[in-house]
């Protein structure tokens, strides 16, 4: 009896709220677990990702073995395993999609408060709001969305918001910033109906994510277009797409194949090949970290070499040696100063690990498609009105190389009117920035710059409404 009581007491130490920050590269997002001990001695649990607007994801299995806990979440194709290092700390790893990230979580009385985001719209709203659900033709994918439309007599010009890379909810929640909620609120108040949709496996949407590419996401947008065509509030002759980042590429794919698209707004959308975007992105981010332009450019050369290796060879038994060889050849041509800036070793002690990291980073079908994607042929087929905006401080989709490329393609299109504009001082999320790094997104309270909203609103007034 004493042993049983002691055992049950030991088990109870995992019950409660556990919170930590998951470093996914250049940003850290909060992860929260809620563990409950049931009367049969088994655990149940749920997970939140407050910075992504995600709450209550069911944990399919929660197993406790001594001082270890193992959590499986099928919906995310991932989970957490941790070891209790003291009564309030679990040190372990988060795994998802074949990747593993260190994650330390601490027991807390309540979830930490979200950062201040003053622009996030709050009810009551001066327009109609409907949370809706619909399916694709063969019922294989279910979509959850929010449709906002003005009060009064329609039909109204209507836009579909398309999110950037990675999985986001319908508000494109990133680090507590709900950009799409802000855009929808602003445009609907100006007389434009807006549909914003949960990405696959986010919110109420389902569908395969692991094997999906931008082409598949373009098909999802087509489903949303078909849904809107059955809404009496929608003016079928004034339907458009607003895509952010990769969403701009997806919008380009859809608009190139559908004559019923009246307008496209690209927010930091691609104008050059995905490979070129990623190389430039890495160079710009490194320079933002204080790395010299020469060292950043050298790393860009390495990055491009690794991409070319991955695209040329799918057999990993041949790929890894080729990448290691190319890595060592690149290092041999670099000065000690450049290698030191990039925190790379002259010897080959960790070359294999770095090569595998590159290969795993380029392993998904999505990234392979994106690397090879060229938006220009899509844009050249446009016969709709186009507005392309970019922030001058964007380190993810560089304005200096992408906006001119978009304009060049638009000149070859049948677009009746188009405009490209670089907005001074704004980053990739269209925030006013100081350091203008990816890490700063979380520190900035502003979600979406008012001047960017006004440019969109006035352009729509002139060209669509």
CATH of the domain at 41: 2.40.128.20
Does 265 share its domain with 386? yes
Q: Are 133 and 214 in contact (CB under 8 A)?
A: no
Residue spans of alpha helices (H) in 150-234: 179-189, 214-228
Can you give the three-state secondary structure of 90-150, one letter per residue? EEEEEEECCEEEEEEEEEECCCCCCCCCCCCCCCCCCCEEEEEEEECCCCCCEEEEEEEEC
Rounded Cα distance between 178 and 163, Å, is 11
Q: Are residues 265 and 392 in the same domain?
A: yes
CB 334 within 8 A of CB 298: yes
Q: How many Cβ atoms from other residues are within 10 Å of residue 241's Cβ?
A: 27
Domain shared by 217 and 366, yes or no: no
- Contact, 266 vs 280, CB < 8 A? no
Residues 151 and 77 in one domain: no
> d(Cα 208, Cα 257) in Å, to the nearest integer?
23
Domain count, the chain: 3
Answer yes or no: is 458 within a domain.
yes
**Rounded Cα distance, 283 and 47, in Å:** 35
Residue 118 lies in a domain: no
- Domain contains 62: yes
Residue that terminates a domain, selected from 370, 385, 417? 370
Q: Indicate yes or no: pTM above 0.95.
A: no
Contact 218, 250 (CB under 8 A): yes
How far is residue 410 from each of residues 46, 219, 258, 274, 418, measured CA to CA in Å?
48, 23, 16, 18, 7
Range of the domain at 21: 12-108
- Nearest CA to 14 out of 39, 41, 35 is that of 35
Domain identity same for 27 and 143: no
Q: pLDDT 10s per residue in the chain (465 long)?
A: 334 444 444 457 899 999 999 887 677 889 999 999 988 888 999 999 988 888 899 999 999 988 899 999 988 888 999 999 998 999 999 988 667 889 999 999 999 888 899 999 999 999 999 999 999 999 999 999 999 999 989 899 999 999 999 899 999 999 999 999 999 999 999 999 999 999 999 999 999 998 999 999 999 999 999 999 999 999 999 999 999 999 999 999 999 999 999 999 999 999 999 999 999 999 999 999 999 999 999 999 999 999 999 999 888 888 888 999 999 999 999 999 999 999 988 887 777 888 888 888 888 899 999 999 999 999 999 999 999 999 999 999 999 999 999 999 999 999 999 999 999 999 999 999 999 999 999 999 999 999 999 999 999 999 998
pLDDT at 314 (0 to 100): 84
Tokens encoding 342: 């990039």
- Placement of tokens 């409404």 in the chain: 465
The answer to whether residue 1 is domain-embedded is: no
Q: Domain ends where: 370, 389, 408?
A: 370
Read off the DSSP letter of residue 446.
-
- Residue finishing a domain among 310, 335, 370: 370
384 and 250 inside one domain: yes
């Amino acid at each position: 009896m004493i042993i049983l009581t002691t055992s049950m007491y030991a088990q109870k130490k995992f019950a409660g709220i556990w919170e930590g920050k998951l470093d996914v590269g250049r940003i850290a997002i909060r992860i929260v677990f809620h563990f409950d001990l049931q009367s049969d001695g088994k655990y149940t649990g749920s997970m939140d990702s407050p910075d992504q607007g995600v709450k209550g994801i069911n944990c399919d299995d929660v197993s406790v073995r001594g001082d270890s806990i193992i959590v499986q979440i099928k919906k995310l194709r991932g989970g957490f395993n941790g070891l209790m290092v003291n009564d309030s700390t679990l040190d372990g790893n988060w795994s998802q999609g074949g990747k593993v990230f260190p994650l330390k979580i601490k027991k807390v009385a309540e979830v930490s408060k979200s950062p201040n985001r003053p622009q996030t719209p709050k009810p009551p709203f001066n327009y109609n709001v409907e949370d809706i659900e619909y399916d694709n033709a063969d019922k294989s994918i279910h979509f959850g969305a929010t449709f906002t439309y003005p009060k009064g007599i329609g039909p109204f010009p209507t836009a579909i918001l398309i999110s950037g890379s990675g999985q986001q909810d319908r508000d494109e929640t990133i680090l507590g910033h709900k950009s799409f909620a802000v855009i929808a609120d602003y445009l609907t108040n100006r007389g434009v109906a807006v549909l914003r949709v949960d990405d696959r496996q986010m919110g109420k949407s389902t569908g395969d994510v692991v094997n999906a590419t931008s082409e598949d996401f373009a098909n999802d947008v087509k489903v949303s277009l078909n849904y809107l065509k059955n809404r009496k509030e929608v003016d079928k002759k004034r339907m458009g797409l607003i895509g952010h980042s990769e969403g701009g590429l997806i919008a380009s794919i859809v608009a190139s194949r559908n004559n019923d698209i009246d307008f496209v707004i690209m927010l930091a959308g691609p104008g050059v090949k995905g490979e070129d975007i990623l190389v430039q992105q890495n160079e710009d981010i490194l320079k933002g970290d204080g790395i010299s332009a020469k060292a950043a450019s050298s790393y860009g050369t390495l990055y491009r070499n690794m991409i070319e290796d991955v695209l040329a060879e799918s057999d990993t038994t041949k790929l890894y040696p080729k990448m290691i060889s190319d890595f060592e050849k690149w290092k041999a041509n670099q000065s000690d100063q450049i290698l030191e800036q990039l925190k790379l070793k002259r010897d080959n002690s960790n070359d294999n690990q770095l090569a595998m990291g590159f290969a795993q980073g380029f392993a998904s079908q999505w990234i392979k498609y994106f690397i090879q994607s060229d938006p220009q042929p899509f844009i050249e087929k446009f016969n709709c009105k186009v507005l392309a905006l970019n922030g001058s401080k964007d380190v993810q989709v560089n304005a200096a190389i992408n906006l001119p490329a978009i304009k060049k393609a638009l000149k070859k299109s049948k677009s009746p009117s188009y405009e490209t504009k670089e907005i001074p001082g704004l980053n990739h999320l269209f925030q006013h920035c100081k350091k203008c790094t990816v890490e700063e997104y979380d520190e900035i309270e502003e979600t979406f710059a008012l001047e960017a909203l006004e440019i969109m609103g006035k352009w729509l007034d002139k060209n669509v409404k």
